[in-house]
Amino acid sequence: MNAPFRETSNHILDEGDVLLADVAARIQLAPSDYGKAEGRYNTLANWLERDGSPLQGLVGLVYGQGGVATGSVVANRASNDEYDVDAIIGLRVEPASDPQLVLDTLYDSVRGEEGSRYYGLTIRCTRCVQVAYADGMHVDLTPAVLHVGRPERESTIFHHRSETPEIAGRHVTANPYGFAEWFKNNTPPEALFGSAFGSYQAMDRALAKAQTEPLPDQLKPHETSRALLSLQLTKRFRNLRYSNRAQRCPPSVVLSKMIAEHKVQGAGFAVALLSHVTYIRDEFRAAQQSGRLYYAVNPVCPADVLTDRWPGTLADQGLWCRDLDHYVTQLTLYVHGSPTLAQRQAILADLFGEKAAKSAVLDFAERMGRDKEAGRSRFTPGSGRLVVPATPAILTPTQGRAEPRTSYFGGDAWWRR
């Protein structure tokens, strides 16, 4: 695979870009939470192979997938700090194994005996087994069987609803690893904040265990790209819109694919976000207007249909189209209008949550006031453009720490989130 091109221009050009970058930083997981997630991921992988486990000797490669693999994890709702970590549990069983048996066996293996650490925390879902911790974190374990001789870890995963045991399960071809690699190659790091924040540094890590790959290092906001931050903000917008809805929400993997395939060159962060969101809106709108459901496949595995469970109906798709119309309308005003700082805060609060927006705007106003008093105006006279980003402090994900969560698939969390 060729090394990705890294654009070196500064994409933080004005007040709107700074505020959006700050909000994006504030919806990241705190580093301590990410570290806790990695510890639980490793512990669960070891637990599955403990003496007496129904899967002892049958667990192969374990690896992160979904948001932890693409670097796009955000919390799931604006009222708390709940978030998900997704993992593939590679099993040494026949790909044609009965889906109900595979999922039930994984459930029994994780749950353990009465009195064990996970006994009261384990939930059997349609394609995964979920461990729901008291502090709001969910770790979702999806059983899979590797396809021998196929590239990029193409695998069979298992689908069966425990609520309807009389209905036979089915086998689904999936390749979350290949998709994550494709996404990262198509959203290479950018010098988002110029020389003030240094260049992107990849960090090498040794495997913690022979058959368990460590979760990727958590990227800081200034080590990422406009596309990845656009994805995180769009996931945040979606989470807020669906937090009190019964309907299944658009899968993250579909949004990831659409953002990665829509290239935006030479624009500020806010303009890039608007371009990504407009592209997503136009694609779904075209499908809706033609009376068809939007269809997407994994670019490295055409048999892996990313929209196999959503949208289920034109009504579901129409609801999301209306959300996207609102998203585009608000961002258009934010980017191309002349909003005051208070109006910017209102737009950001509407789209991404009041707490993150209020904190970002307050910090921005205080920094600008201090700079003006010290004779260090950051703006080009008469243009409103920032000369350089305000300070690295805007990119520390602490004060408005990741705030969202809902069970988008009726409790069935897996890599498409």
For residue 71, tell me if it sits in a domain. Answer: yes
pLDDT confidence of residue 110:
97
For residue 301, tell me if it sits in a domain. Answer: yes
Token reading at 245: 């809805």
Domain of residue 338: give its range. Answer: 15-187+208-390
pLDDT confidence of residue 96:
96
Quote the CA–CA distance of 323 and 325 in Å, as a whole number: 5
For residue 295, tell me if it sits in a domain. Answer: yes
User: Tens digit of pLDDT for each residue in 240-259?
Assistant: 999 889 999 999 999 999 99
Q: What percent of the chain has pLDDT over 70?
A: 77
User: Tens digit of pLDDT for each residue in 392-404?
Assistant: 333 443 333 333 3
**Window from 62-66, 75-79, 169-173, 207-211 with minimum mean pLDDT:** 207-211
Mean model confidence pLDDT for the chain:
82
**Window from 25-39, 209-223, 280-294, 306-320 with minimum mean pLDDT:** 209-223
For residue 165, tell me if it sits in a domain. Answer: yes
pLDDT confidence of residue 397:
37
Segment 184-210 mean pLDDT: 48
For residue 6, tell me if it sits in a domain. Answer: no
pLDDT confidence of residue 82:
60
User: Tens digit of pLDDT for each residue in 19-74?
Assistant: 998 898 888 877 788 888 889 999 999 999 999 999 999 999 999 998 888 888 87
Task: Indicate if the pLDDT at residue 123 is higher than 90.
Answer: yes
Task: Indicate if the pLDDT at residue 413 is higher than 70.
Answer: no
For residue 103, tell me if it sits in a domain. Answer: yes
pLDDT confidence of residue 206:
26
Quote the CA–CA distance of 138 and 4 in Å, as a whole number: 33
For residue 361, tell me if it sits in a domain. Answer: yes
pLDDT confidence of residue 223:
67
pLDDT confidence bin for 219, thresholds 50/70/90: low
pLDDT confidence bin for 221, thresholds 50/70/90: low
For residue 402, tell me if it sits in a domain. Answer: no
Q: Number of structural domains, the chain?
A: 1
